[in-house]
């Protein structure tokens, strides 16, 4: 059985935790965002398990739609200058800070599974990551 890694995500702008322990997805606290699409606004919760794409939203998201992620704590748009390099995507990547250090980038396009983890200080941050999750 593969070990599940539940990520603890913080806002890259204000540093506040985006974890919502009151709303679980697959038994783990969800990651909560406010979102704006081309014609609506609402709330999106992502599963915190790395590599899992389960999510819930109180508005309808069409496949292929680009979603603007907004921190519910500081109301800043979470968007990086990096674009998704999946074929025909080019949507802005959403930068999220990991509590342990380093960042996760996720694609802002609904249905695109592109994501990656980036560590600024590989040696110590990867070690912390491995210590915490034990693999």
Residues that bind Zn ion (CB under 5 A): 11, 13-14, 71, 73-74, 84, 86, 89, 91, 107, 109, 112, 114
Whether the Cβ atoms of residue 36 and residue 60 lie closer than 8 Å to each other: no
Distance CA 24, CA 8 (A): 13
Query: Nearest approach, Cβ of 109 to Zn ion (angstroms)?
Result: 5
Largest CA distance in the chain: 44
Nearer to Zn ion, 4 or 73 (CB): 73
Query: Nearest approach, Cβ of 63 to Zn ion (angstroms)?
Result: 12
Nearer to Zn ion, 6 or 34 (CB): 34
The 8-class DSSP code of residue 49 comes to B
Query: Nearest approach, Cβ of 120 to Zn ion (angstroms)?
Result: 19
**Which residues pair with residue 51 across a beta bridge?**
none
């Amino acid at each position: 059985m593969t070990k599940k890694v539940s990520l603890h995500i913080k806002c890259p702008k204000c540093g506040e935790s985006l974890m919502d322990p009151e709303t679980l997805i697959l038994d783990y606290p969800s990651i909560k965002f406010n979102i704006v699409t081309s014609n609506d606004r609402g709330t999106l919760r992502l599963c915190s398990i790395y590599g899992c794409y389960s999510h819930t939203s109180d508005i309808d998201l069409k496949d292929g739609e680009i979603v603007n992620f907004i921190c519910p704590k500081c109301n800043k748009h979470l968007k990086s200058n990096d674009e998704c390099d999946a074929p025909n995507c080019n949507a802005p990547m959403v930068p999220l800070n990991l509590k342990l250090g380093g960042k996760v980038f996720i694609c802002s396009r609904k249905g695109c599974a592109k994501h990656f983890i980036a560590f600024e200080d590989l040696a110590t941050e990867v070690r912390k990551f491995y210590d915490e999750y034990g693999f």
